[in-house]
Every structure is written in C-alpha cells, then in structure tokens.
Amino acid sequence: MSSDPLSVFRAAVEALERENWHRIAALCDAESLAAFKRELLDSIAPPPGGPVRLSATELMKASPNVPRAVAEYMVSRFRESLDPKRRLKEEIPGAESREALEKMPPAEVFALWLEGRSVRRQLDREVERKHMSRATANELLADGSRRAEFTPLGFVNEGTDTAHVVYRSSINGRRLQTATAQRQANGDWLLVADRELLMMHEVRLTSDGSEDEAAEL
C-alpha cells in the first residue's frame, strides 16, 4: 500500500535494485498495464499490407553515394527491424510467441519487458552473440558501481488523482525526470506503466559492456 506518490516511487526503485520485476509491475495501475500490453502488441505486429520490399539496388538509386556493401547491410537491418519474430525477441525475450504474449496478464507482460531491458539480460545477449565472455559478464554484474541511482526530489499534483514524481538519475546526470502516479479508488497510489518508467528504455550496453544512452527502439 502506498499512501503518496513518493512512497510508491521509492518502492519501485527498491524493487529495481533487487531485480524484482513482478514487484514493479504490481506497483503499476491496471489501466496503464493494459494500455502498455496493447501498444506492445501493436509494435510487434506485421507491417500492414505485407512485408516491405526494399532492395539494395533501389536504395542505391535513391542514394547514389552509398556503396553496395553498405546498402545491403542497411537493407538487411531494415528487414530485421520489421520482422515480427525478431521484434518479439527484442521486446520480450521471455515470450515464446505472440500468441503466448496475448494470453498473458498485462502485469506479466510488463514484468517480462522490464526484465528484458535489464542489465543482466542485456549481458546475457552479449554472451549469446559472442561479443563477450561469460566471465566478463559476471564481473560486470558483480560491479555494484554500475547500478543506476534514483533520487526523488518531490512531486507535483495534476488535479486530485494524478501526480508527477520529479527525480534525478545517475543515468543522465543533472537532467530531471518524472514518473507519473495515479490515485486508486481505495486511496492508494500506483505508478503509470510505460517505457519511460525508471528510464528502462534509455540505457543499453555497448559490446564492451559499458552503458550507453540510446534512443528507444
């Protein structure tokens, strides 16, 4: 139970430190969890009208200065980005199929998405791609200095049932961030589940295991 927006935010940060993804999902309100699941399913849906057909030759015609090898690589990456199965694996590594994802409760979907964005799962993928050894990944996981810190500074009310928690994160230094909370019918506060929650969408690992700010996929 969270009697105010700061309490629920601090509880979510504590759950993040423990990698308790289901706890974070439990601290989010049901409406936002359902909306997150719908948007996620839409994002991994096949392109309308069937596969997008683009060849390296067509790309080179549009950009004559692009070498063929570069054009072929760009087309390959573009096709991969639109592949529903690849998108599913990137967004929800723990989901076996879209059909299985559709049957999951929204809270479970959000928890799996959070886990897929975690440093641990990103390191696992680097090991799978043979970009680093398991020993290096374990060393990075054991390095507590890499853990992000979140410092709540207060909150701003928007009406009577919505509040925005203002916080600072070690991920991006001095830039302030916000997390939205909603008052429930019983008076408790729960967070709004979205990609920006606790900045899980922003930080990805480079091949050497260092953190890198990146735009959302």
**Of 167, 159, 161, nearest in space to 182 by CA:** 161
For 10-13, the CB contacts below 8 A with 24+ separation are 10/152, 12/179, 12/191, 12/197, 12/198, 13/150, 13/152, 13/198
Average pLDDT over residues 143-155: 78
The pTM for the full model equals 0.73
User: What is the Cα–Cα distance from 170 to 153, expressed in whole angstroms?
Assistant: 14
What tokens appear for 184 in the block? 């429930």
- Whether 208 has a pLDDT exceeding 50, the answer reads no
Q: What is the pLDDT of residue 145?
A: 45
User: What is the Cα–Cα distance from 34 to 31, expressed in whole angstroms?
Assistant: 5
Q: What is the pLDDT of residue 209?
A: 44
Cβ(120)–Cβ(201) under 8 Å? no
Range with the poorest average pLDDT among 26-35, 146-155, 162-171: 146-155
pLDDT tens, residue by residue, 162-193 = 999 999 988 777 789 999 999 999 999 999 99
Considering the chain, what is the average pLDDT of its residues? 82
Average pLDDT over residues 139-147: 64
Going by pLDDT thresholds of 50, 70 and 90, the confidence category of residue 205 is: low
Q: Is 165 helix (H, G, I), strand (E, B) or coil?
A: strand
Instruction: Give the number of domains in the chain.
Output: 1
pLDDT tens, residue by residue, 65-103 = 888 888 888 777 776 666 677 778 777 877 888 899 999
Boundaries of domain holding 127: 5-213
Q: Between the CA of residue 57 and those of 51, 64, 74, 80, 121, what are the distances in Å?
A: 18, 10, 12, 18, 37
Query: Going along 6-83, which residue ranges are E strands?
Result: none
